[in-house]
Structure 1
């Protein structure tokens, strides 16, 4: 049983890069494809509390549905925003990673490095070729 969980969308490059950084430590996380298995209201609220971020910060504003549902309205309550994310999980920003060191929305993907309990074992570059970890397992400068 892994002590790392990733709320993952395999169609998202940031999510795939984050998963690869986790695996680069030798860990195999529990992968929750949240579009197939959305979190409950209680779990979503717990994740938001653990990340200590405003509910609005977890909404994916780039989705067409965000505009269609007029979720940019500042008068919308946290409950209304959570209702929208629960009804339409595509609106939940990703990936969210939970480890013994914390819970984080990993955008950019290298944000996961701050909460991974194990070190990187090898060089790593994002899918687009951008280097993140060098051959010594250290962060590339500026990452």
Structure 2
């Protein structure tokens, strides 16, 4: 199973999720999405595996969310993904993706929903 972590090393939650994955003996593909933003095609793959609405991928605080009008409930998933592709800071980190599922892991305990084996080795 491949586990991909869209990671921001400056984020404490992101660092904690990475530590939890590593403690479970899983070597994830770590994508520092601010340095290497996901392409629109990669975001489509991520969205197809989401177990939550695409809107949950959006980070509001510290981003141009409001200035871009992303609070508009009529925006389509495609429009939201377009905004993330152009402004990767909008990605609500950390996001964990497996072969079957993906979700933002904020709070860190939501990681258990897509990687239940992590719970066994973390306090």
- TM-score band, normalised by the shorter chain? 0.7 to 0.9
Q: Which position in structure 2 is the counterpart of 1:12? A: 11
Question: Alpha carbon RMSD of aligned pairs, Å?
Answer: 2.1
Structure 2 SS opposite 1:80: helix
C-alpha deviation, 1:101, in angstroms: 5.6
Q: TM-score, normalised by structure 2?
A: 0.84
Which is greater in Rg? 1
Q: 1:14 to 1:70 in 2, by over 3 A?
A: same
C-alpha deviation, 1:72, in angstroms: 0.9
Alignment of 1:42-57 (within 5 A): 42-57=41-56
Higher relative contact order, chain-length normalized (CA < 8 Å, sep 6+): 2
Q: Which structure has greater helix proportion? A: 2
| Alpha-carbon distance between aligned partners in 2 of 1:37 and 1:90, rounded to the nearest angstrom | 11
Q: Runs of 5+ in structure 2 lacking a partner?
A: none
Q: Which position in structure 2 is the counterpart of 1:73? A: 72
- CA deviation map 1:32-53 (0-9, x unaligned): 1011111111211221120143
| Alpha-carbon distance between aligned partners in 2 of 1:41 and 1:74, rounded to the nearest angstrom | 21
| 8 Å contact kept, 2:13–2:107 | yes
Number of residue-to-residue matches in the alignment: 122
Q: Runs of 5+ in structure 1 lacking a partner?
A: 125-132, 134-143
- CA deviation map 1:47-94 (0-9, x unaligned): 112014322221112234112212112233333222211111000111
C-alpha deviation, 1:95, in angstroms: 1.1
| 8 Å contact kept, 1:34–1:89 | yes
